[in-house]
Structure 1
């Protein structure tokens, strides 16, 4: 019987006791974080994140409208449905229209929004196209400032909310515009109504991406486009693109392992791309087996659980910067996340 591969596969197989000790220490660390979190809540301590750390974290989460992946798998039908809905309503209504793409982390909501944003039909229809990455801080002033900068190409240098509101209404007045609000987490309806009131000054269409059904609910969105997992065929095509490329010959053995890995990813594009990229250019069967061993421990019934399992697998095989980017994509605040971050900064 071959020993199981793990993040500690570089150790000699006989060091079982050492591995058990590491596992116990990890469990102790997890429990300690649990205790610290409870104490922090009890005494109302701050989380201790510095402004610089928060700023760096926000930079990792930023998105843009630029399409960085020339080939997108399995989202043509989604794109067509959204583009047709946007154009149909924008042509028949003078009111502000709002659409939301809702789906779990890692399904490709931002990628789909980019496809819609850069579609030629959309570009021809709207006078202005604006992209704002909102993330977890729904700050009305920052959003308004981003809109002004996108339209005018200049920093507005406005200090008050009222001045920004008037400037936004000025630059949008009489324009048919598309505004993408990417990665929205805000569930406070008051904040949304404050922003919505400003944006109703023109013939606007807003496209929102979010993981939360509640976000769509407070925005009174109709319709909601719920993004689902990739099909088996699209999942395999995506994996092949990242793992094999176009020129590499696919051996039967690696294909069999690859298809097993893809099944465990349950149609999550982020999970598939991550594991496929780890194996890019790798011809050693043992390395593929290592990833397969890790993938076998993933819950192949829910793509959201699969995404969280990808974090430690990716860290075993990627540089820190790539892992940091991957981690920021998951955007979670659970105690488990604290544990994983600690384990992956050494």
Structure 2
């Protein structure tokens, strides 16, 4: 069973259940409905107090994880009921405003206020009893109550407008870049296409290194054509060939059959010394290599991958460049740059000492050092830094999710956690539109606010909070789009579990846990 994170959702439900509008109409619908709404608020508050502790302990306690899963199911049903209430409020308001209220009601109509009140009274009574039973079971797990941290209004510095692949922002990869550039230039007289794999674990900076090489002046002058293709887990040779053609020509192509694509590819690359970067390759790709022989002597392909199987499948290639972790000093420099402002007066000896202890836990991964630095930038007390350093999360044994990333997630405000986890609805390496994402957050009720203007502002604040902490990256300013690192996407997927589901084509779904669906 995937990890169950429900605290953010319960926090959103609390906001909905305590809204002034709902309380006002709850009184109008009778004292019984109003009392049940108040009881719902109380029960949710009782449960919310122990959720942070429960979510941290669930990894080693399957019964606790099951309790959280039951709570999440009940929370979704609660949301449905509150949404019914809110719908009726909006309907009545619209009716009054338009002065279209009928004098004679159909007694059996859903719009009949008596029928609505009786129906909703039963529904809310049942859900409150269900939540009460779940709340009573919390005593079995000896959970510690932790007061909610109210960070409704976020205060963060807006991120730099340039991507972190800008060379001046990179630490510890100058020598790696130099070696790869020299290797590529040295292949100038070779008649076959040279392939250089960059191999390393996730979060090590393979893509960053490839981008540094790609944008190096000597590389740009040496190769007549440079092409960048993000491959990811879904290796579709037709799509990749089409992307290569469109990137090289800066034009859209509607070709769909493989024969037309391969002939166009040969025309585009014919007689040119090209550099092709295939970023994030997970599967053998020999079939594609055969189509790249039309280029001039000295043409090269860079493949970034985590897979030794991909490397071993490439015949007649350069030796793989195995990217090493950053040194402790380099990792500290990256952490320090993100954790402190220039000339920061609060960079005390205690914070530096604790910070270096935190950096040792990063395993030399730039992504981990950067995200932890962004996290610690929001904390200034020694006790807060020590709490991160001594967190139990460092001891979790999870081969897929880095503890440093989970820590950064755990320190997000509740409603921001919910917004982040929802991003698993997008496929890996998908270019996400910022404004569309904020509208989806609003439509799903993830942004706690009663006013439309206020909701839009908070949606922007949540987005920039996640961007500034490196949950989002590769922001393209003029397009207002961004991407998520594969490891960050894995984190979101581990949190949301089966609630988000992506279909490559329309088909039936048997999993009843699915709440959000996207068809690519």
Provide the TM-score with structure 1 as the length reference: 0.75
Name structure 1 gaps, 5 residues minimum: 1-6, 33-64
Distance 1:146-1:244 versus aligned 2 partners, 3 A rule = same
Partner Cα distance (1:196, 1:106) in 2: 27
Which residue of 165, 169, 174 corresponds with 1:71?
169
Please say if 1:195 is aligned against 2:288: yes
Deviation, structure 1 residue 247: 2.9
* Contact preservation (8 Å) 2:202, 2:306: yes
Question: Does residue 315 in structure 1 map to residue 409 in structure 2?
Answer: yes
CA contact (8 A) 1:101 1:207 kept: yes
Which residue, 35, 46, 66 being the options, matches 1:28?
66
Alignment partners' CA distance in 1, 2:386 and 2:66 = 30
Displacement of 1:284 in angstroms is: 2.0
Pairing 1:213–2:368 present:
no
CA RMSD in angstroms comes to: 3.5
Post-superposition shift, 1:173?
A: 0.4
Separation in 2, partners of 1:219, 1:30? 46
Q: Secondary structure at the match of 1:67?
A: coil
Write the distance in 2 (CA, Å) between the matches of 1:144 and 1:253. Answer: 54
User: For residues 159 and 75 of structure 1, do their structure 2 counterparts lie closer, same or farther at Cα, with a shift above 3 Å needed?
Assistant: same
CA distance in 2, matches of 1:139, 1:210: 16
1:266/1:134 Cα in 2 relative to 1: closer, same or farther (>3 Å)? Answer: same
TM-aligned CA deviation for residue 255 of structure 1 = 0.4
Indicate the residue corresponding to 1:340 in structure 2: 495
Q: How many residues align?
A: 295
Q: Secondary structure of the residue that 1:207 maps to in structure 2?
A: strand
The reply to whether residue 330 of structure 1 matches residue 487 of structure 2 is yes
Structure 2: gaps of 5 or more residues: 1-6, 9-44, 71-162, 421-462, 474-483, 501-514, 516-520
The alignment status of 1:107 with 2:184, answered yes or no, reads no
1:233 to 307, 329, 336: 329
SS of equivalent to 1:298: helix
**For the Cα contact (< 8 Å) 1:106–1:307, is it kept in 2?**
no
Q: Is the 8 A contact 2:393 2:406 kept in 1?
A: no
Q: Is the 8 A contact 1:98 1:206 kept in 2?
A: yes
User: Cα–Cα, structure 1 residues 18 and 86, in superposed 2: closer, same or farther, change >3 Å?
Assistant: closer
SS in 1 for 2:170: coil
Aligned to 1:141: 238
Larger Rg over CA atoms: 2
Using CA pairs under 8 Å that are at least 6 residues apart, name the structure with larger relative contact order, 1 or 2: 1
User: Which of the residues 77, 81, 94 maps onto 2:179?
Assistant: 81
CA spacing shift, 1:86–1:252, aligned 2, 3 Å = same
Q: Tell me if the contact between 1:271 and 1:307 (Cα under 8 Å) persists in the aligned partners.
A: no
